[in-house]
Chain A
């Protein structure tokens, strides 16, 4: 509790980020209760209703309530963001740890692979994978997770390389610990701090990529409500006549990603002793 208050006072921006994330998670978890309408329920007479009254943020051309779709979209974005990041980090940590720790030809190969994969922009890779795998919730998660792997692997690998040379690892070896044990019990926990910072930032990236994919029609398919796809359906045609269709989903995406960035920045400042003032 003390720690939490200290954090809030020193990193007000980070605290705001944490609050935004908390709101996001709560909205996602209790979407069913919060949303007044079924996000997929069409209602022709209510088509393009203006914000206000029963439709808090208006309705789209099929009469679906924007507010409800945004609330339920939180669930999708959270799921995709968290799962993709978790999957990407899991694979990335394993590869990075193994590569940094084992060294040799394996490490060399992995390094080349990381270089190769990082030459392609995140969106391009995700796009190609999504296109190749076909549109579905799981496929989207995989399509976003895989491009996240190289960055994670690279950072974990460089951390492992530094930690491997540290005296406490040598001490552990001198006591007779097996390499595997050392890797898991000594090296890995020390890479967690930068990993957490990285993961927080990756969640933001994942959400942005998902929204771009859905915007282009290659991401989350119907019937799941996705903020990105809400924007594509309303693009161009309704820009003049129904601006609320463009404004609110975009605000939702920006706000959540903003929250992850604030939180990530604050976490990074906490964990990097050099930057403390």
Chain B
């Protein structure tokens, strides 16, 4: 097996807020192989987006700050790079697609120019050449009349088209890693499927590795090969997709599975709410909501172990 493309070890990101220090990412580690698709799934507030932003060092400082850990892309330690060097990585080696395409695109710049910007920056293309390439990219992502669209502004495109444009923008320089942060959450259901299909196809064609951040297990099932489940800034389970769906181990994962609507069966919610990250109790963060929690769960640090081959979980009772 070839060496992993991206190795994240014990990543820790903290935020200084009025309510105290929030450990948004508390010791997360994972690897990503070439051309592999990894999904990070969890409810809002579990730290998955912050993890993604931390990988690209886009966390706003202040109030946020990466305080520990390591992020190695091939041979380079990303966290040790100075800002100029990091900028050469962003957009060229690692790219990101965001959730809300309307607000993530500059309203006063044409689509063509926004896509061309990374080409000009990283590949030294002239403006004209970049524009021509942008048109090609727009065609690649399935936008009709790409030459016309390249001259238009974001508000003139539909939501689905905007997201396609964002994908074109992210893939312009053929990055090694593509991070997709909830790319379909803001779109209509019908468009969601198209976009996911597009991302998957392009990823395979270009051989890009992908990290798919989502709260939707359906998206996970469709796109990913491996999954990490996060809760309160930590990993609680990790496995291949098939394995996770067939045998979910952690009570949280099982709760998530049960809350997917299935035919006429009653929706089962997970009682309680995600805890305030500034005030986490000792022991397992999920304990207050867990049907199987015991006093032991609440008292000690729960080890994250390989419960079955290739399948890790942080729970005392699985």
A and B touch in the complex (CB under 8 A): yes
Instruction: State whether the Cβ of A112 lies closer than 8 Å to any Cβ in chain B.
Output: no
Chain B residue total in the interface (Cβ 8 A): 3
Q: Note all chain B residues with C-beta closer than 8 A to A276.
A: 18
Task: Give the Cβ gap from B4 to chain A, nearest Cβ, in Å.
Answer: 38
Instruction: State whether the Cβ of B261 lies closer than 8 Å to any Cβ in chain A.
Output: no
Instruction: State whether the Cβ of A277 lies closer than 8 Å to any Cβ in chain B.
Output: yes
What separation, in Å, do the CA atoms of A276 and B19 have in the docked complex? 12
Instruction: State whether the Cβ of B63 lies closer than 8 Å to any Cβ in chain A.
Output: yes
What separation, in Å, do the CA atoms of A277 and B18 have in the docked complex? 8
Chain A residue total in the interface (Cβ 8 A): 2
From residue 85 to 141 of chain A, which have CB atoms closer than 8 A to chain B?
none
What separation, in Å, do the CA atoms of A133 and B314 have in the docked complex? 81
Task: Give the Cβ gap from B18 to chain A, nearest Cβ, in Å.
Answer: 7
What separation, in Å, do the CA atoms of A276 and B17 have in the docked complex? 10
What separation, in Å, do the CA atoms of A41 and B148 have in the docked complex? 81
What separation, in Å, do the CA atoms of A277 and B63 have in the docked complex? 8
Interface string of A244-277 (1 = CB under 8 A from B): 0000000000000000000000000000000011
Task: Give the Cβ gap from A269 to chain B, nearest Cβ, in Å.
Answer: 13
Q: Note all chain A residues with C-beta closer than 8 A to B62.
A: 277
Task: Give the Cβ gap from A65 to chain B, nearest Cβ, in Å.
Answer: 50
Interface string of B49-93 (1 = CB under 8 A from A): 000000000000011000000000000000000000000000000
Q: Note all chain A residues with C-beta closer than 8 A to B63.
A: 277
Q: Note all chain A residues with C-beta closer than 8 A to B18.
A: 276
Q: Note all chain B residues with C-beta closer than 8 A to A277.
A: 62-63
Nearest residue, chain A, Cβ from B18 = A276
Task: Give the Cβ gap from A272 to chain B, nearest Cβ, in Å.
Answer: 14
What separation, in Å, do the CA atoms of A276 and B63 have in the docked complex? 11
Nearest residue, chain B, Cβ from A276 = B18
What separation, in Å, do the CA atoms of A277 and B62 have in the docked complex? 9
What separation, in Å, do the CA atoms of A276 and B18 have in the docked complex? 9
Task: Give the Cβ gap from B259 to chain A, nearest Cβ, in Å.
Answer: 26
What separation, in Å, do the CA atoms of A28 and B142 have in the docked complex? 73
Nearest residue, chain B, Cβ from A10 = B18
What separation, in Å, do the CA atoms of A276 and B16 have in the docked complex? 13
Task: Give the Cβ gap from A168 to chain B, nearest Cβ, in Å.
Answer: 22
From residue 171 to 209 of chain B, which have CB atoms closer than 8 A to chain A?
none
What separation, in Å, do the CA atoms of A250 and B20 have in the docked complex? 45
Nearest residue, chain A, Cβ from B62 = A277
Task: Give the Cβ gap from B205 to chain A, nearest Cβ, in Å.
Answer: 42
Nearest residue, chain A, Cβ from B16 = A277
Task: Give the Cβ gap from B103 to chain A, nearest Cβ, in Å.
Answer: 15
What separation, in Å, do the CA atoms of A147 and B18 have in the docked complex? 41
What separation, in Å, do the CA atoms of A276 and B62 have in the docked complex? 13
What separation, in Å, do the CA atoms of A277 and B17 have in the docked complex? 8
What separation, in Å, do the CA atoms of A259 and B18 have in the docked complex? 27
Nearest residue, chain A, Cβ from B63 = A277
Task: Give the Cβ gap from B306 to chain A, nearest Cβ, in Å.
Answer: 43
What separation, in Å, do the CA atoms of A266 and B62 have in the docked complex? 21
Task: Give the Cβ gap from A11 to chain B, nearest Cβ, in Å.
Answer: 14
Task: Give the Cβ gap from B15 to chain A, nearest Cβ, in Å.
Answer: 12
From residue 17 to 41 of chain B, which have CB atoms closer than 8 A to chain A?
18
Task: Give the Cβ gap from B33 to chain A, nearest Cβ, in Å.
Answer: 40
What separation, in Å, do the CA atoms of A37 and B63 have in the docked complex? 56
Task: Give the Cβ gap from B187 to chain A, nearest Cβ, in Å.
Answer: 26
* Residues of chain A whose beta carbon lies under 8 Å from any beta carbon of chain B: 276-277
| A-B pairs with lowest CB-CB distance, top 3 | A277-B63, A276-B18, A277-B62
Q: List 3 A-B contacts (CB under 8 A).
A: A276-B18, A277-B62, A277-B63
